[in-house]
Amino acid sequence: MSGFERRNGELFVESVSCQSLAQQYGTPLFVYSRAAIEQSWKAFDAALGDRPHLVCYAMKANSNIALLQVLAGLGSGFDIVSGGELKRVEAAGGDLKKVVFSGVGKTRDEMAMALEAGILCFNVESMDEIGELAEVAAAHGVIAPVSVRVNPDVDAKTHPYISTGLKDNKFGIAFDDAQNAYRRIADSASLNVIGMDCHIGSQLTDIAPYQDALSRLLALCDLLESQDIVLKHLDLGGGQGIRYKDEETLNLDAWAAAMFQEIGDRNYEIIVEPGRSIVGNAGALLTSVNAIKPGEHKNFAIVDAAMNDLIRPALYSAWQEIVPVVESSEPQKLYDVVGPVCESADFLGKERELAIEKNDLLAILSAGAYSFCMSSNYNSRPRAAEVMVDGDTAHLIRQRESLESLYASESLIAS
Ligand code: LLP
């Protein structure tokens, strides 16, 4: 379920017409379905069944505080990667004791903030980080709970930019060094070993890489246990793919069953860190056609959203479906859907069959994850507004930026 469906040729999000949202709030506009977000989170929770577990939403996928508030209301934990994300969890009323802190370059200030907040766990990614965390915790007179992010060196078979579990990736502690890392943590008076984690990549559509990674991790867990280093939890990361076009996605129940089969009767609490699969399909970017430019080889539909609003097509050659908000019976033509930014990489979709005219509205689907949160002000373009729809009610959850706000924190030099 995405929360988006067509009724009498018109696109709706839950019970609200996308056209009316565009009229009320302007474009470009991100719209999300609360019901779809809740349903995806509950599907994860249900797949993990009776085994003790915690779903920690990887909030880098979409960190709007209203969205975090909705997930916190379901009992979600959060996977964070910065002090800024920790602040957002706090602002949203999330439970800080359900926060796991991932990331390859945590600063001392961020470590201190997270220790003061009393988070569940630090997922450490290097020997240097272990040393620094031990020092910061000692200086604060506390003991930091730690999991080692192990890089299992498995090929997740996804786009190279979003593959993270190979030994040439910067992420995690190399499998062969992990035992030493645990020994170092166990020997430190200000660190407490509580878990092991991995995250091998994003937009995965196959269970096999998860199985490969988990079986390597479990061998390590068993070895540690024989050395009296006992773990409480196993964090399997995120990465579950969604359907953008025609991908065969993972069946979550089958995925969980496969994970449980590997784990057998070992008694770990399970943590997962899904991001994209919770919010990806639950959002769309609405945009207006500003101009139609017929060309010799192809036509351009120049829209008011651009690569600064949605960078995935430019950055990863990602394909996202583009549909008219109101269907037309006119004949279709072939378009490149492009934005106003001065870059040839500024496209949202290439070679799309569309029946459109100037001023029509388009929806770019599956734009709930890694879309708004990766947006920028390039070309001095204010970032878009965001709306969350709940049944027949639309909540404005982020105002469109004003032009003045673009330079509000800059200053002129004394002349
Ligand atoms: N845990 C860790 C440690 C991660 O680095 C990530 C994502 C996740 C969990 C969540 O992964 P997910 O379930 O969302 O696949 N911007 C890219 C995706 C980057 C993913 C980065 N890490 C995109 O737009 O495709």
pLDDT tens digits, one per residue of 213-230: 999 999 999 999 999 999
Ligand 1 cavity residues, CB under 6 Å: 58, 60-61, 79, 102, 162, 199, 202-203, 237-240, 273-277, 312, 316, 370
Q: Could you tell me the pLDDT band of residue 46, with boundaries at 50, 70 and 90?
A: very high
pLDDT tens digits, one per residue of 393-410: 999 999 999 999 999 999
pLDDT exceeds cutoff 80 at 158:
no
CA atoms of 212 and 201, how far apart (whole Å): 13
What pTM does this model have? 0.97
Angle subtended at Cα 285 by Cα 360 and Cα 302, rounded to the nearest 5 degrees: 45
Q: From the CA of 279, how far away is ligand 1's center (Å)?
A: 12
Q: What percentage of the chain reaches a pLDDT higher than 90?
A: 92
pLDDT of amino acid 318: 97
Closest of 90, 62, 10 to residue 397, by C-alpha: 62
CA atoms of 217 and 175, how far apart (whole Å): 8
Q: Could you tell me the pLDDT band of residue 346, with boundaries at 50, 70 and 90?
A: very high
What order do you get walking across the sheet with 10-13 strand by strand? 4-7, 10-13, 16-17
Pocket test for ligand 1, best of 78, 157, 198, 202 (most atoms within 8 A of CB): 202
pLDDT of amino acid 415: 86
pLDDT of amino acid 211: 96
pLDDT of amino acid 92: 98
CA atoms of 20 and 149, how far apart (whole Å): 46
Q: From the CA of 311, how far away is ligand 1's center (Å)?
A: 15
Residue at token pair 């069946």: 251
pLDDT tens digits, one per residue of 237-262: 999 999 999 999 999 999 999 999 99
pLDDT tens digits, one per residue of 87-146: 999 999 999 999 999 999 999 999 999 999 999 999 999 999 999 999 999 999 999 999
CA distances from 306 to 200, 302, 387 (A): 30, 9, 18
pLDDT of amino acid 263: 97
Task: For residue 249, count CB atoms less than 10 angstroms from its CB and return exposed for 0-12, middle for 13-18, buried for 19 or more.
Answer: middle
Query: What is the position in ligand 1's atom list of the atom closest to the CA of 159?
Result: 25
pLDDT of amino acid 169: 79
Pocket test for ligand 1, best of 80, 276, 309 (most atoms within 8 A of CB): 276
Question: Are 98 and 54 spatial neighbours (Cβ–Cβ below 8 Å)?
Answer: yes
Topology of the domain covering 4-32+280-407: Lyase, Ornithine Decarboxylase; Chain A, domain 1 (2.40.37)
Token reading at 156: 């997740």
pLDDT tens digits, one per residue of 303-337: 999 999 999 999 999 999 999 999 999 899 999 99
pLDDT exceeds cutoff 90 at 163:
no
Question: Is residue 221 among the annotated active site residues?
Answer: no
pLDDT mean over 275-280: 98
Q: From the CA of 368, how far away is ligand 1's center (Å)?
A: 13
pLDDT of amino acid 153: 86
pLDDT tens digits, one per residue of 94-107: 999 999 999 999 99
* CA dihedral (82, 85, 90, 95) positive or negative: negative
pLDDT exceeds cutoff 80 at 301:
yes
* All structural domains of the chain with their residue ranges: 4-32+280-407, 34-278
pLDDT of amino acid 375: 98
pLDDT exceeds cutoff 80 at 159:
no
Residue nearest to atom 8 of ligand 1 (CA): 238
Q: From the CA of 367, how far away is ligand 1's center (Å)?
A: 14
Q: Could you tell me the pLDDT band of residue 168, with boundaries at 50, 70 and 90?
A: confident
Token reading at 188: 């430190």
CA atoms of 279 and 21, how far apart (whole Å): 19
SS3 state at 322 = strand
Topology of the domain covering 34-278: TIM Barrel (3.20.20)
pLDDT of amino acid 52: 97
Task: Show the beta-strand stretches assigned E in 297-404.
Answer: 299-303, 322-324, 333-338, 347-354, 361-364, 385-390, 393-398
